[in-house]
Amino acid sequence: MLGKNILLGGALAAVLSLSLSAPVDAQGVAPAATDIVVKGIKGRVPTEIFGKRPFMRNPVISPDGTKIAVMMSRNGIDNLGIIDLTKLGSPPKFFARAEEFREAGDRTVGGWSWVGNRTVLFTLASREIIGGQRVDLLRYVAYDLESGSLTPLAWEGASGNGIQILYRDHVKERVLMQRTSFRNDQNEFRPEVIDLDVRTGKFTTAQRPNVFVSQWVADGKGVIRAGIGGDNDGKQRLMYRSTPDQPFKTLSNEKDTTFTGTQITPDIFTLDGDIAYATSNKDGYRKVYRVNLATMEVVGKPVFEVPGHDVEGLVPSKDDTRLIGVRYTTNKQRTRWFDGRLNEIQKFFDEDFGAGNARIMSADDDYTKLVVFIAKPSEPGTYYLYDTVSGNLGVLGHFHPDLQDADLNPTETIRYKASDGMEIPAVVTYPRHRPHRKNLPVIVMPHGGPFGVRDEEEFGFFPWQQAMAELGYVVIQPNYRGSGGYGKQFVLEGRKPNGYGQRMQDDLNDALTWFGQTGLIDPKRACIMGWSYGGYATARGAQRDPNVWKCAIAGAGVYDFPMMKAYDMGAFGSFGANFQATADNLVAISSARNTDGAWAPILIVAGLRDARIPIEQSRTLVSRLKGSGKKEGIDFRYVEQPKGTHNLPYEEVHIEWLVEAEKWADRFNPAYVPADIDYARKPNVDPRFQKTVGAPATASK
C-alpha cells in the first residue's frame, strides 16, 4: 500500500466517457440539452464556481500518439488516468487519486510523463516529519498499462527527492534519474545518477555524487556532461566534460550576489562537439545563446531575444539535440517555433483563435498528433487533440467543470508610472457587467513570490481576478519591481534594501493614483488582496497605509520577518533565508511587530498544514492585534483552515477563501453603492448556476 490518500489499481467506480466530437463534462458525458450551457451568460457567476477544481489538466500524449495521461477532477478530487485514443467512447482508466496530503504519512500525486508507450511515471509526494519539521519528499512510481501494476522506482536507499529525469530511452524503456541516497555516506544529500529500467525497477549507478554538484545534466545520448552546484552563501559552480571518459573540470565558480541566476548553464547539448544552447541574463535580459562550453565563450549573436522581456525556457527536439522552440511571456505565454512545420501550425492557430491564444502543450514522437490548449485570457480554456495529417481538431475536455468555454471578464496589460518614475506593468481585469468603466471600485491583487514571479493575462488555475471582477470590481495585478520576466535590473530594484515592504509597497499604492487619474477607478474605494507574498503585502498595506485601503484580505502571509528568517535558516540555510528578507530593518517591515495604531480592517486566512509559511505567522499576527486592542469581528477576522496548505489544493478550502474574501470586501467596500450610475442594474446570480452553488464547508476558527 503506497499511502492512505491514494486509490491504486483499476478504474474508479464511477467512470467517465470521452468523445472527440463533443467536450467531456464533469459527469463524463457530452453535455445534454438540460445541462449548463455557459456561452452568453447574462447573470452573475457565483463566487463559489471560481473555486472549483479544474476538470481536466495537463494531458500528455504518448510517444506513439495512441494514449493520453491526464488528471481529471470528480467531485473536487483529482484522479490520474489514461485515455485510449484507439477506443473512442471508452471510459478513461484511472489508477491514482490525488487527494491533498495534510498529515505525516499522507501521500499525493504530482506530475506525470511517459517512458515508452506502456509506462507512465508519476510523482508521489510524501509528507514526513524530519528533525521536527514537516518535509515533503518526492518519489517516482511507474504505472504499467498492460498489467495495471504500480512499481516504486528507486525508493531503496533514497534519502531525499528522486524525481529528476535527465534522459529517456523510449525504446529500451529506461531513464537516467537523479536522486539523493543514503548509499553515499557523507554525500547523502548530494545527488547520484542511476540507470533505471522502468519496467522492472532495477537500476545501476551511472554517476556517483560529487561534493560540489547539486544538479547533473545529460546530453541527448544519455551521457552526463555537466554538474551544477552551489552553497548556502550563494556561490555557483559549473563543472563540465566533453566526453564520458574525461574527468569533470570546473569552468566557473562565482558568487551570485544579485540572486538572479546569472550563471550560464547548458540546457540542450547539440551534436556539434562542445556547443550547447543556454540562456543567460548577462546582458540585462535573459536571452538564448549558443555557447562553447569548453571555453565558456558565446558563439555569435543571441539566437533569440524578446525586447523588454526575458526568455523563459527552451523546447528541445524529441532526441534532445536540437532547439525547436523558445517559451516566453509578454502579456501572455507564447512560443516561438524554429521548426518550420510547427511554426506554420502555430500561425494557423494564431489566425483562427487570436495571437497567443493557442498553445501546443504535448506531442507524439513525430509531431503528427498535438495536444493544444486554446483560450482567451478571459476564458478558462479547452484542450483539443489536433491530427496534423487529417486536419481534425477534436475536443478533449474543458479546463473548468462548470464554466467550460465561457468568455467572462476582459483582461489587458497596462503600464503605469510609479511615483518615482519607474514603469510598472499591470494586468487589469474589467467587470463585464459594468461596461461604462468609470469611477469603479477596485481590488489591487499583488502576486506571490515575490522575486522572479509575475502575473500575466490568463484565466489561470486560481482565477481570483475573475471572481472579484465578476462581483463588479476592477482588479489590478501589478507586476511591481522585483517581479520576473522584465530583465535583471527590474528584479534588482525590488532587492534593494528599500524594496521589500517599502518601495515595492509604494508600487501598489501608485496603481491607485495612476488609474484614478484615468477615471477608471475611484481610489477611495480600494481593497488589497493577496496570498503568500501577496498576503504579506496585504497586511503590510493594512498596517502601513490604513488610509489608502478600505479593507485588506490576506492569505498565508509572512507577518513577522525575524521569526520567519529563523525558520528559513533551519529549512533553507543562510542563502535561502536571506533570499527573501532583503530589508535592513526586518522589524520595521513586519506587520505583526507594528500592530499599534490604525489599521485597515483585515481578513486573515491561513492553512493549518501550510509547510511553507508556518501557521505561527498568522497566529502571532492575530495575537498581537488583540494585544493592541483590535477587536475580532470588527477590526479583523481570522479564518484558520484545518485542511489548508500553502497551495489551496482542496476545493472546499479554495472556495472558502474566495467566499470569505467576497464577504469581507462587500462589508467594507461594496462593489455597488446607491451613488453608482448602474446601481439599479446590479446583476443577480445566473439561474443556470443555482443548482451548482452550495455553502462551502466551514473550516474557520
Query: Could you say which DSSP state residue 502 is in?
Result: I
- Looking at the fold, whether 315 and 431 belong to one and the same domain comes out as no
**Beta-sheet pairing, 67-74 with 77-84:** antiparallel
Going by C-beta distance under 8 Å and a sequence separation of 6 or more, which residues neighbour residue 494? 450, 451, 480, 481, 482, 483, 500, 503, 504, 582
Structural domain includes residue 111: no
pLDDT at 22: 32
DSSP 518-580: HTSEEEEEEEEEEETHHHHHHHHHHHH-TTT-SEEEEES----HHHHHHHHHHHHHHHHHHHH
Other CB atoms within 10 A of residue 437 CB: 13
Structural domain includes residue 451: yes
At residue 215, what are phi and psi to the nearest 5 degrees?
Answer: -150, 120
The rounded distance, in Å, linking the Cα atoms of 84 and 170 is 19
Domain count within the chain: 2
- Looking at the fold, whether 416 and 333 belong to one and the same domain comes out as no
Structural domain includes residue 650: yes
CA distances from 33 to 14, 29, 85, 300, 500 (A): 22, 12, 26, 60, 53
Structural domain includes residue 323: yes
Which single residue is written with the C-alpha cell 524554429? 338
Buried b / exposed e over 24-56, threshold 16 CB at 10 Å, is bbbebeebeeeebebeebeebbbbbbbbbbbbb
Q: Is 9 left (phi over 0), alpha (psi -120 to 50) or beta?
A: left
- Looking at the fold, whether 461 and 600 belong to one and the same domain comes out as yes
- Looking at the fold, whether 536 and 667 belong to one and the same domain comes out as yes
Other CB atoms within 10 A of residue 301 CB: 9
pLDDT at 281: 92
**Beta-sheet pairing, 174-179 with 323-329:** unpaired
* Nearest residue to 78 via CA among 123, 37, 39: 123
The rounded distance, in Å, linking the Cα atoms of 648 and 146 is 35
Do 2 and 150 meet the contact criterion of CB atoms below 8 Å apart?
yes
C-alpha cell at 617: 505567522
Query: Where among 303, 319, 338 does a domain terminate?
Result: 338
Written as one letter, the residue type at 221 is K
Structural domain includes residue 97: no
- Looking at the fold, whether 323 and 422 belong to one and the same domain comes out as no
At residue 626, what are phi and psi to the nearest 5 degrees?
Answer: -65, -40
Going by C-beta distance under 8 Å and a sequence separation of 6 or more, which residues neighbour residue 541? 505, 508, 509, 528, 548, 549, 552, 600
C-alpha cell at 618: 498568522
- Looking at the fold, whether 569 and 460 belong to one and the same domain comes out as yes
- Looking at the fold, whether 518 and 625 belong to one and the same domain comes out as yes
Vertex 236, ends 231 and 239: CA angle to 5°? 115
DSSP 309-367: B-EEEEEE-TTSSSEEEEEEESSSEEEEE-SHHHHHHHHHHHHHH-TTSEEEEEE-TTS
The rounded distance, in Å, linking the Cα atoms of 459 and 130 is 37
* Nearest residue to 227 via CA among 257, 256, 191: 191
Written as one letter, the residue type at 128 is E
pLDDT at 700: 44
The rounded distance, in Å, linking the Cα atoms of 450 and 484 is 8
Query: Where among 338, 359, 383 does a domain terminate?
Result: 338
Look at the alpha carbons of 616, 617, 620, 621 in this order and tell me if their dihedral is positive or negative.
negative
Structural domain includes residue 240: yes
The rounded distance, in Å, linking the Cα atoms of 280 and 300 is 14
Helix (H) or strand (E) holding 517: helix 504-518
Vertex 156, ends 151 and 161: CA angle to 5°? 90
**Beta-sheet pairing, 551-555 with 602-607:** parallel
Do 38 and 692 meet the contact criterion of CB atoms below 8 Å apart?
no
- Looking at the fold, whether 417 and 515 belong to one and the same domain comes out as yes
Query: Where among 314, 338, 362 does a domain terminate?
Result: 338
Domain interval for residue 271: 234-338
Vertex 404, ends 398 and 405: CA angle to 5°? 100
Peptide bond into 450 cis (omega under 30): yes
Written as one letter, the residue type at 23 is P
- Looking at the fold, whether 443 and 330 belong to one and the same domain comes out as no
**Beta-sheet pairing, 521-531 with 551-555:** parallel
- Looking at the fold, whether 453 and 582 belong to one and the same domain comes out as yes
Do 357 and 369 meet the contact criterion of CB atoms below 8 Å apart?
no
Structural domain includes residue 108: no
Which single residue is written with the C-alpha cell 463566487? 47
pLDDT at 7: 29
Structural domain includes residue 387: no
Does the pTM of the predicted model rise above 0.85?
yes
- Looking at the fold, whether 317 and 423 belong to one and the same domain comes out as no
pLDDT per 10-residue tile (average), the chain, 701 residues: 26 25 34 42 94 94 97 86 90 83 65 96 77 72 95 87 91 95 70 96 94 94 94 81 95 78 89 95 94 95 97 96 97 96 96 96 96 97 96 94 92 98 98 96 97 95 97 98 96 92 97 98 98 98 98 97 78 50 82 98 94 93 98 98 88 96 98 97 90 50 42
The rounded distance, in Å, linking the Cα atoms of 360 and 171 is 24
Going by C-beta distance under 8 Å and a sequence separation of 6 or more, which residues neighbour residue 390? none
Other CB atoms within 10 A of residue 519 CB: 11
Q: What is the CATH number of the domain that holds 548?
A: 3.40.50.1820
